[in-house]
Amino acid sequence: MNVEEIKQVVQVLAAAIKGLRLYAVDHPATVRQVEALQNGLFSLLQHKKQISMGLLEGTLFVEDHLFMQEFPAANELAKLLESRDLTGFEFLAGLSAKEIQTLLYLIHAGECKGQDFADALKSQGVKRIHAVAAEDEDEDDQKPRKVYRKALKVVDQIFQDVRMGEIPSSTEAIKVVKSMAQLTITEPHAMLALSMLKDYDNYTFTHSVNVSVISLAVGRACKVTDEQLKTLGLGGLLHDLGKLRIDIEIITKPGKLTDAEFEAIKAHPGFGADIIREMEDVTSEVMQIVLGHHLRYDRSGYPQDHTGAIVSPLVEMAAIADAYDAMTTLRSYQRPFTPRNAIARLREVSGSFLHPDFVTSFINSLGAYPVGSLVRLDNNMIALVTKVDPKDTNLIDLKVLFDPDGTLLADPYMIHFHPGQPLRIVSEVDPHSRGIDVTDFFDLDAL
Ligand SMILES: [Fe+2]
C-alpha cells in the first residue's frame, strides 16, 4: 500500500476535523474536505475490503504503516482517538460521503466516547465506518449483564456483515463466548435469567445469544471440557447465521409455513456452514453445530445429505438449547412454555429428537423449578425463582411477588428457600395467568 496515499488520508482527515471548528458540516469548505477524504479512502480501498486506522501504544497506524516519524496530522489523530476512548476506525469499501460527514460530526460534537461513540455511529446509519472502543479494563465489564449485552452487540455486527455480503470476523465472538463460558461456571443462574429476556423485535439475534447461553449451561451439565464449552458457545452464537440468506418474509411469517417455504428454511444450516467455513479461527466442530442443529438424535430432521459429517456430541447439546429457547419464547402462534412445561416437553422428545443422556443431565442441573419459574407456595404466596444453587438444586432464592390473597406486592422481597423450612412449593404458576412477565422482576442491575 502506497505510504504517500496513506499520509494524504491522515492529513485530510485531521484537516477536516480541524475545519469543523470553523465551518459547519454542510459548508462548502467542509464538503470539499469530505470529498477529498472520500477520494483518498476510495483509492486505499481499491484493493482491500477494509482499511484499519488505529493506535498502537499511542502511535497512529494505518494498515501496516506505523507513523514512527514526526507527522503532525498523525499525532493530532492519535490524541483525538485517545481523548474519545477509541482505539481506531475501520473504513469499509463502498463508504459514502454522508457516512464520512456523520463521523466527522460526531467527532466534532465530542459528546460521546468509547462504546457510546461506536453505538452512536451505528445508530445514525453509518454502516461502513466502525469505531473501535478502547477496552475498558473495568471489572464491571465481566458482569453477566454487560457480557450478555456485549454478546448481543457482537451478533448484531456479525449479522450486519453477513447482510452486506461480507465474511464476518470471529475475534469478538470468540472473546465474548470466553467470558460467557466463565460466567456459566461462576454465575449460572444469572446467565440463565438473562437468557429469559426475549427481545421479540430482534428475535433472531436475541435467540442466537440465548442459544449460546443455554448451550453453555447444557455443556456444563454434561461436563464437557473448557475448550469444548467455548466451541459449544460459539456454535450456539452462530447457529442460525444462514437464516440471513433466506427471505425475511419466510423467517418472520407468523403461523404455519407452506411446503415450499419450509423447503426454503431447510437451506439455512447449509448456508450458515458456508459462511462459517470462510471465517477465520472457527473450527470444523463449530461448523458441525451450525450444519447439524436441526438434525435430530435419531437423524431425522435436516439437512439429510450431511448426516455422516455430523459426529460431534456438541451438536446434540446445541440442539437441546435451541429447542429449550424456542419453547420458552413467545411466538405469534405459541404462548411460551413455562420452564417446567419446557422440561416436560424435552423429556417427551428425549431419545428421539434429542440425546437422552444430555437431556437428563441438563434437566437435573436446572432443578425441579428452574430459574425463571413462577411458583405457588403452600401458604398461597406466589414467587419467582431467581437463583438455583448449582451444587444443590434444592437451595433456591425466591422473590415473593404476590401475597397469599393474590395481591401483587408493591415491594417484592427475597426469601432463601431450602427443604428444611416450613414453606413448601406446591406447583408452578403460568405467568400469563397472573398477567405478568417474569423478566420484569429480575433485578437486572444486580446481575
Ligand atoms: Fe436453526
- 141-193, pLDDT tens digit by residue? 778 888 998 999 899 989 988 998 888 989 999 999 999 999 998 888 888 88
**Ligand 1 center from residue 292 Cα (angstroms):** 9
How much is the pLDDT for 215? 97
How much is the pLDDT for 235? 97
- Residues 235, 256 contacting (CB under 8 angstroms): no
**Ligand 1 center from residue 129 Cα (angstroms):** 30
Q: Which three cell numbers stand for residue 26?
A: 454542510
| Strands 374-377 and 382-388, bridge-based pairing | antiparallel
Instruction: Please state whether the predicted TM-score (pTM) of the whole model is above 0.75.
Output: no
**Ligand 1 center from residue 59 Cα (angstroms):** 44
Residues 6+ positions from 124 with CB-CB distance below 8 Å: 102, 106
Place of cell 408493591: 410
**Ligand 1 center from residue 267 Cα (angstroms):** 10
How much is the pLDDT for 240? 95
**Ligand 1 center from residue 367 Cα (angstroms):** 27
**Ligand 1 center from residue 426 Cα (angstroms):** 36
How much is the pLDDT for 143? 86
How much is the pLDDT for 445? 65
Q: What is the pLDDT of residues 42-80, one digit of tens each?
A: 988 988 888 999 998 888 999 889 998 889 999 999 998
Q: Please report which confidence band the pLDDT of residue 19 belongs to, taking 50, 70 and 90 as the band edges.
A: confident
**Ligand 1 center from residue 149 Cα (angstroms):** 22
The pair phi, psi for residue 294, each rounded to 5°, is -105, 5
**Ligand 1 center from residue 210 Cα (angstroms):** 13
**Ligand 1 center from residue 123 Cα (angstroms):** 28
Of all residues in the chain, the percent with pLDDT exceeding 90 is: 54
**Mean pLDDT for all residues in the chain:** 89
Q: What is the pLDDT of residues 378-427, one digit of tens each?
A: 999 999 999 998 888 889 999 999 999 999 999 999 999 887 888 889 99
Q: Which residues pair with 53 in a beta bridge?
A: 62, 89
* Distance of alpha carbon 30 from alpha carbon 27, whole angstroms: 5
**Ligand 1 center from residue 204 Cα (angstroms):** 10
Instruction: Give the ranges where 20-143 is alpha helix by DSSP (H).
Output: 28-44, 72-83, 97-109, 114-123
**Ligand 1 center from residue 43 Cα (angstroms):** 40
| Strands 396-402 and 408-417, bridge-based pairing | antiparallel
**Ligand 1 center from residue 128 Cα (angstroms):** 28
**Ligand 1 center from residue 348 Cα (angstroms):** 20
Place of cell 499520509: 7
Q: Name the least confident of 218-227, 231-240, 293-302, 428-437.
A: 428-437
* Distance of alpha carbon 430 from alpha carbon 336, whole angstroms: 10
Closest CA relative to residue 369, chosen from 380, 352, 384, 382: 384
pLDDT mean over 434-441: 86
Strand, helix or coil at 377? strand
* Distance of alpha carbon 140 from alpha carbon 115, whole angstroms: 14
Strand, helix or coil at 103? helix
**Ligand 1 center from residue 265 Cα (angstroms):** 8
**Ligand 1 center from residue 295 Cα (angstroms):** 10
Q: What is the pLDDT of residues 369-382, one digit of tens each?
A: 999 999 999 999 99
